[in-house]
């Protein structure tokens, strides 16, 4: 009776047929997996090879005379000291006068610091670090601000003149020229 209802034609009979096929498919899959798990034999233990079960044979033993050199020396003695490490030499910070801050060139800004040149070589500074009397106070978009005794001075990154580059590149691609 029930099978006749399922396979009877009607608006819901297609969905019922698909559902019945899915249930039967899952039941068959479950039965096959259960059979494979139960029918698979459990592997036996693998015994180690016979030569690995033999203890390691030491060909000769160390003599007492050989170890006397080591045992005769004391572990701790009066003259023993820690290794003396020479302290690192501190590099003196670059001295920059008030007028010399204009000679400093800002090369770049990175997270928490700047890269400047104009002294003997390039120098990295982090926020709060001093360059002579000037302290790196604040970083902005394209500039760094230094402070000294309430005086503030900003140094900007030099931007290349792009107008000459732009006009030259436009002249190359201008079809009327």
* pTM exceeding the 0.75 threshold for the entire prediction: no
> How confident is the prediction along the chain (177 residues), in pLDDT tens digits per residue?
566 665 566 667 778 888 889 999 999 999 999 999 888 888 888 888 887 777 666 556 666 666 666 676 666 667 666 656 667 665 555 555 554 777 888 888 888 889 888 766 788 888 988 888 888 889 888 889 989 888 888 888 877 666 665 565 565 655 555
Q: Which two tokens stand for residue 119?
A: 């002294």
């Amino acid at each position: 009776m029930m099978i006749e209802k399922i396979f009877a034609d009607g608006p819901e009979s297609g969905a019922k047929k698909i559902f019945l096929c899915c249930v039967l498919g899952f039941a068959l899959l479950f039965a096959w997996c259960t059979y494979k798990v139960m029918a698979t034999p459990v592997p036996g233990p693998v015994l180690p090879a016979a030569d690995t079960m033999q203890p390691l044979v030491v060909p000769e033993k160390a003599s007492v005379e050989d170890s006397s050199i080591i045992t005769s020396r004391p572990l701790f003695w009066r003259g023993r000291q820690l290794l003396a490490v020479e302290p690192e030499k501190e590099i003196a910070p670059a001295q920059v006068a008030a007028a010399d801050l204009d000679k400093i060139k800002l090369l770049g800004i990175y997270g928490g610091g700047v890269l400047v040149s104009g002294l003997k070589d390039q120098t990295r500074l982090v926020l709060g670090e001093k360059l002579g009397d000037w302290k790196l106070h604040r970083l902005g978009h394209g500039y760094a601000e230094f402070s000294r005794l309430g005086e503030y001075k900003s140094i900007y990154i030099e931007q290349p003149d792009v107008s000459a580059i732009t006009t030259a590149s436009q002249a190359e691609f201008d079809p009327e020229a």
